[in-house]
Amino acid sequence: MRDKVLIANGQGFWGDSILGPIRLVREGPLDYLALDYLAEVTMSIMQKLKSRNPAMGYATDFVAMLDRILPEVADKGIKIIANAGGVNPHGCLEAVLELARKKGVKGLKVGIIEGDDILDRLPELIESGEEMRNLDDGRPLSDIDPERISSANVYIGAPAVAECLAQGADIVIGGRITDPALVAGPLMHEFGWGEDQFDQLAAATVAGHIVECGAQCTGGNFTAWRDVDDYVRIGYPVIEAHKDGTFFVTKHDGTGGLIDRRTVVHQLLYEMGDPERYLGPDCTAQFTSAQIEEVGENRVQVSGVKGTAPTDTFKVSISYHDGYKASGQLTVSGPDALAKAKLCADIVWGRLELDGCTFEEHQKCVEFVGAGVCHEGISETENPSEIVLRIGVKDADKKKVNRFGMEIVPLVTSGPPGVTGFAGGRPKATDIISYWPALIDKRKVETSVRVETV
Amino acid sequence: MAKIKLADIAQARSGDKGDGSNVGIFAHNQADYEFLKEVLTPERVKQHFAKICKGDVVRYEAPNLLALNFILHDSLGGGGSESLKTDAQGKTHGLALLEMEVERA
């Protein structure tokens, strides 16, 4: 058994830089590489891709990245844990096996975790008494027309990952594995932690949370950004974990970026709810118990984390079709950029009304980018030299949304002077996919693992 | 009494939490943390974000991090893919809180 384990996170979301994982494999020692490809609405995008092509529905970026580094990963014995499987872990498995054969990587073991995707089981689950009420507003899932539901996935935890590794997998592909479980799973496996070692599981959950957004704990999105050297070659985080649950947040020597108490605390606070009770499938972690200490250059120790038993429910992430939206933009130069941009917006609404097309206030959005949009009411400016007018609508009626899109470009010739920057054609109606978080009885969900050898 | 910006004594990060955002703000020493706790009531934060946050503000404390965490309910124009706003995920709300000006003895 190793006395310490090195786990990196090389991907914070689907769309993060391909350089993260490639450089982690090449620029320093590593035992495990964790890769997080999923966000709340990613599953529904993947479900749509799968409905067009049954072989799709997983993070193709993952396979493109492996295409560049798989032989090196295999030579160095680095194991990979990724939730790249999306709504089609089997399809992802097939693509990785094919790639390994093409690259001549023999003996590679690739495992998948299935059972998180409950879309087809929803009628049966509702029938059995699972109401899956929306955690935000309390409505039961039966309020939504089943035809509109596009994905439903249970957040699964570390034991399934550990089981897949115990069966010998070099690469573990899952669907909706929680972000922290990508780190906690390997640690359970390596240190032989039981499912009731809540302090250790909570520590691993905190570690997983710190690294789950990649470079967001190594100087990315950091308030004191001027203190960060070399954003170009920013190092992705590496956790050095120990059996008692103590761990160190580090990065490879010679990489850019910064790790100190401040960068780590930034990420601990990211997407935080109640820091006393961070709910996960494996434990309830107390973020308030973590002791954070700078112990060296780019090296922060986290210790003392406490945890308690998890709840008897899993979180479910459900997405459903919820109407249409469109948004377009124009650039308005000065003089009087803001006044002219406001007039432009009024002209759009006025002309649509002339044609019998109206939207309610909450269905419209007008922003004057450059005058204080992000910090509305906090730091605004009265007389910017130019403005980007962003104007958008949402509605259940696709025709109305498309009608709106036709009234933006005419402003170039039929509005105030100095209107330009219209590119990309008329904005077209796109689907709104809304998110429905809910809970489900743990006993109703079974995960399974399978490992195949190249 | 001198006027300071919270950015002078604290740092922050924010992100989305359903149709609301979370804003975590932390100090660099105990005295500044005590000051943050005193001045940053949920009411004061709600007032600061009056044009952005349409719902309640809830505050949590994490003394080990010298941090406060605020949930700004209904502050993303629907959130997720439903929102038409530029900052549909509240990524900039942390810096917006640091813009707050306060009196300090």
Q: Which residue of B has its CA nearest to A438?
A: B18
Question: Do B86 and A287 lie within an 8 Å CB cutoff?
Answer: no
Query: What is the C-alpha separation between A357 and A352, in angstroms, rounded?
Result: 5
Is residue A169 exposed (0-12), middle (13-18) or buried (19+ Cβ within 10 Å)? buried
Q: What is the pLDDT of residue A75?
A: 97
Distance from CA of B81 to the nearest CA of A (A): 6
Q: Which residue of B has its CA nearest to A288?
A: B62
Among A266, A288, A322, beta carbon nearest to B62: A288
Assess if residue A133 is contained within a domain. Answer: no
A163 and A289 fall within a common domain: yes
Q: Which chain A positions have a beta carbon within 8 Å of B33's beta carbon?
A: none
Q: Does residue A450 sit within a domain?
A: no
The distance in angstroms from the start CA to the end CA of chain A is 26
Amino acid type, A284: T
The answer to whether the CB atoms of B15 and A270 lie below 8 A apart is: yes
Domain-located, residue A129: no
Q: Are residues A246 and A348 in the same domain?
A: no
CB contact under 8 A, B48 and A392: no
Contact between A120 and A131 under an 8 Å Cβ cutoff? The reply is no
- pTM metric for this prediction: 0.96
The reply to whether A267 and A329 lie within a common domain is no
Flag whether A297 is in a domain: yes
Contacts of A394 (CB under 8 A, 6+ apart): A323, A324, A325, A363, A401, A432, B78, B82, B84
Whether residue A97 is found in the same domain as residue A232:
yes
Which of A279, A311, A343 is the C-terminal boundary of a domain? A311
Residues of A in contact with B64 (CB under 8 A): 288-292
The pLDDT score that the predictor gives to residue A39 is: 82
Regarding whether A332 and A430 lie in a shared domain, the answer is yes
- Cβ atoms B10, B98 nearer than 8 A: yes
Give the pLDDT confidence score for residue A190 in this predicted structure: 98
- Asked, for residue A443, whether it belongs to a domain, the answer is no
Q: Answer whether A294's CB lies under 8 Å from A300's CB.
A: yes
Stretch 69-98 of chain B: residues touching chain A, C-beta under 8 Å: 69, 71, 77-82, 84-87, 91-92, 94-96, 98
Same domain, A264 and A336: no
CA distance A394 to A361: 10
Q: pLDDT digit of tens for each residue in chain A (454 aa)? A: 789 999 999 999 999 999 999 999 999 999 999 999 998 778 888 988 998 999 999 999 999 999 999 999 999 999 999 999 999 999 999 999 999 999 999 999 999 999 999 999 999 999 999 999 999 889 999 999 999 999 999 999 999 999 999 999 999 999 999 999 999 999 999 999 999 999 999 999 999 999 999 999 999 999 999 999 999 999 999 999 999 999 999 999 999 999 999 999 999 999 999 999 999 999 999 999 999 999 999 999 999 999 999 999 999 999 999 999 999 999 999 999 999 999 999 999 999 999 999 999 999 999 999 999 999 999 989 899 999 999 999 999 999 999 999 999 999 999 999 999 887 789 999 999 888 999 999 999 999 999 999 9
Which residues in chain B touch residue A434, judged by CB atoms under 8 angstroms apart? 80-82
Tell me, yes or no, whether A347 and A249 share the same domain.
no
Q: Is residue A59 part of a domain?
A: yes
**Which residues, given as ranges, of chain B have pLDDT below 50?**
none
b/e map A337-348, b = 16+ CB within 10 Å: bbebbbbbbebb
Our count of domains for chain A comes to: 2
Residue A81's domain spans which residues? 4-116+155-311
Whole-angstrom distance, CA of residue A34 vs CA of residue A133: 32
What pLDDT is attached to residue B78?
85
Handedness of CA A375, B8, B10, B34 (dihedral sign): negative
- Using alpha carbons, select from A87, A157, A77 the residue that is nearest to residue A109: A77
**Nearest-neighbour CA in chain B from A216: distance (Å):** 10
**Which helix or strand (DSSP H or E) is residue A411 part of?**
helix A411-414
Task: Please say which residue of A292, A311, A330 terminates a domain.
Answer: A311
Cα–Cα distances in angstroms (integers) from residue A289 to residues A65, A206, A217, A398, B77, in the given order: 37, 10, 19, 50, 34
A437: its two tokens: 């978080």
Instruction: List the alpha helices (DSSP H) in A306-358.
Output: 337-354
Q: What is the model's pLDDT at position A243?
A: 97
> Are A256 and A337 within one domain?
no
| Chain B residues 9-28 within an 8 A CB cutoff of chain A | 11-13, 15-19, 22, 24-26, 28
B62 in Cβ contact with A287 (< 8 Å): yes
For position A431, which CATH number holds?
3.30.70
The rounded distance, in Å, linking the Cα atoms of A261 and B62 is 15
Distance, CA of A393 to CA of B87 (rounded, Å): 16
Cβ–Cβ below 8 Å for A374 and B69: no
- Same domain assignment for residues A165 and A31: yes
Q: A35 in a domain, yes or no?
A: yes
Question: Quick check: B96 and A378 CB within 8 A?
Answer: yes
| Burial classification of residue A402, based on how many CB atoms lie within 10 Å of its CB (0-12 exposed, 13-18 middle, 19 or more buried) | middle
Residues A78 and A13 in one domain: yes
Task: Tell me, yes or no, whether A161 lies in a domain.
Answer: yes
On whether both A288 and A229 belong to a single domain, the answer is yes
Token couple for A429 = 């109606």
| CA A33, chain centre distance (Å) | 17
Rounded-to-integer distance, Cα A96 and Cα A452, Å: 11
- The answer to whether the CB atoms of B84 and A291 lie below 8 A apart is no
Same structural domain for residues A292 and A225?
Answer: yes
